[in-house]
Amino acid sequence: MLSDTSMENLALSGFIDSVSRLTEPDRILWCNGSEEEYSDFVRQMLNDKTLIELNQELYPKCYLHRSNPNDVARTEQLTFICTDNEEDAGYTNNWLHSIEAKAKLESLFKGSMKGRTMYIVPYIMGPESSAYSQIGIEITDSPYVVINMKIMTRIGKRALSQLGDSDVFVKGIHSLGDVNPDKRYICHFPKERLIMSIGSGYGGNALLSKKCHSLRLASVAAREEKWLAEHMLILGLKSPDSKVTYICAAFPSASGKTNLAMLKPPMKYSDWSVLTLGDDISWIHSDGENFRAINPEAGLFGVAPGTNAKTNPNALETIRKNTIFTNVAITGQGNPWWEDMTDSIPSSVIDWKGNHWLSGNDKAAHPNSRFTTPMKQMPSLSPEWENPNGVPISALLFGGRRSKLTPLVYESFNWIHGVFIGATMGAETTAAAVGDVGRLRRDPMAMRPFCGYNIGDYFKHWIDMGTRVKNPPKIFHVNWFRTDSNGKFLWPGFRENIRVLKWINDRVNGKGIAVKTQIGYIPTAESLDLEGLNLAENVVNDLLNVNVKEWTQEVDQIKEFFNSVGDKLPKELWNELNKLESSL
């Protein structure tokens, strides 16, 4: 089925021709984005067993996909920024020379679609016809990618008509190859707006609209065009007087962005609500007065384990229909299941690899198992979620993931200090990327794996953006992950995080008491609503305390990190570090 629109677009037809000559598919199929087409894909995948039907009474139109066990998370060590100069990629990226990378990838893609169908997936990132939205074309040989793209983005005809005859679109080429980790490459060519990804079917490696387009390539464009492409959720906090305050928040992968974005306040706060606009990516532009954020995506690709009626009831409701589950377990009744989903363990669980599971053995669901579900189904959806102009942002949150050191919440002194706080964020690693879990690394703005250029230039860009807006958002750091000496979390987290959002809301509105410390403004125990949590006094102290000895060590580690970033680290950030050091 060849699309008329595409034929008028010479850049597009040239791109398709060159990719089909390289990959030699048996068939080419243009995806139009219709519901019938989606059902056809599902039927075909049920037939060839790449999808398994879940209990259709309880989970209508929900399916399970089991990936190759070697392909369950992003592979950062196989992800490259490909430019002419290594300096363009910088300390946080793997780099390949663009010419060498192109040659290498072309040899891997040669004939990779023989015997397969090549699917062409035109997509829009951002609300249809928003001035901030972008078009991409993903070519893939994976039906799993197509059905996920259908949920995660706005695919098909509408993307082609928005593109018209323009040659401005992101080109994505994806092939499963033979799903061989030794021949797995995820390569980005920012100058050509090109992504080439082979050997993996996993979300962040294969849904090229997501991290590859909307963060790595978009961050490069954002610097040139003076906006921000960030790894941030967007939420609206509605207070009892019906005023909505919009917040963007950055957390590392698998650290609760989806839960915070969909937070359902506990009974005590039933006159507050959290309205969801996005759970992973924000594109933020200045209108001169304010920063305005849009969510380029149309679906959620959330971590399943840990999602339950207590942690995220809105998510449980959302994923009851039209949802693709990847690498979760299933119960004897054919329902999806994962660790901590239910109070008791159901009978006859089949684990994520398809084997009978015995409680006490390995995890039933993979720790990075996921659900792909449409935004539109969320009970907490904001009426503004598709506003083409975005929503005005009053606060930015940087969420570290640290078992020690950083307090539950603190506010920066000013914009540049806020950039310093984001730039020095520390995070203990999670299962969202292959590698050991729980190791501390610097994860600036939660963008370490996603910034498509030199991180020193990125910091400078952030500093400059503060001067491009009359009312820059206030910047906060939060940390839900502090533990006691036994490794037990000090803060209940999840729905109780509304208490921290309330304090942030107070601060944004010129209320809320804080003490000025060496690291920023920290709430007093009284200004934070802790009623009913039964936290011991020493726990509250630990949550709000600045330990000078630990912070002095932190300063040394930040110095090391800044030195690794090298010459491009802005002097303003060294200056902030020096101020912190002398205040300690």
Nearest to 213 by CA among 151, 155, 134: 134
What residues between 265 and 324 interact with Mn ion by CB under 5 A?
280
For Mn ion, the closer of residues 175 and 430 by Cβ is 430
What residues between 396 and 455 interact with ligand SAT by CB under 6 A?
432
What is the Cα–Cα distance from 357 to 365, expressed in whole angstroms?
10
Is 301 a binder of ligand SAT (CB under 6 A)? yes
Whether 248 contacts 200, CB under 8 Å: no
What is the Cα–Cα distance from 394 to 12, expressed in whole angstroms?
40
Q: Both tokens of residue 11?
A: 């850049």
In the complex, least distance from residue 120 CB atom to Mn ion, rounded to whole angstroms: 26
For ligand SAT, the closer of residues 204 and 400 by Cβ is 204
Find which of Mn ion, ligand SAT, none residue 432 binds, CB within 5 to 8 Å per kind: ligand SAT
Is 253 a binder of Mn ion (CB under 5 A)? yes
Q: Given its phi and psi angles, is residue 484 left (phi above 0), alpha (psi -120 to 50 degrees) or beta? A: beta
Helix spans in 169-307 (H):
203-206, 218-225, 257-261
For ligand SAT, the closer of residues 69 and 566 by Cβ is 69
Each residue 40-79 as x (binds ligand SAT by CB under 6 A) or -, in order, gives: ----------------------------------x-----
What is the three-class DSSP state of 356?
Answer: strand
Using CB under 5 A, which of the segments 90-98, 247-255, 313-321, 384-392 binds Mn ion?
Answer: 247-255
474-478 vs 440-442, strand pairing mode:
unpaired
Nearest to 446 by CA among 246, 214, 250, 153: 250
Q: Both tokens of residue 101?
A: 């990378």
Residue nearest to ligand SAT (CB): 204
Residue among 203, 256, 374, 426 that touches ligand SAT (CB under 6 A): 203
Find which of ligand SAT, Mn ion, none residue 159 binds, CB within 5 to 8 Å per kind: none
Whether 42 contacts 147, CB under 8 Å: yes
Find which of Mn ion, ligand SAT, none residue 382 binds, CB within 5 to 8 Å per kind: none
324-326 vs 63-65, strand pairing mode:
parallel
For Mn ion, the closer of residues 280 and 496 by Cβ is 280
Question: How many residues sit close enough to Mn ion to count as binding (CB under 5 A)?
Answer: 2
What residues between 225 and 264 interact with ligand SAT by CB under 6 A?
253
Is 201 a binder of ligand SAT (CB under 6 A)? no
Is 576 a binder of Mn ion (CB under 5 A)? no
In the complex, least distance from residue 212 CB atom to ligand SAT, rounded to whole angstroms: 9
Backbone angles phi, psi at 118, to 5 degrees: -95, 120
Contacting residues toward ligand SAT, per CB under 6 A: 74, 203-204, 210-211, 253, 301, 432
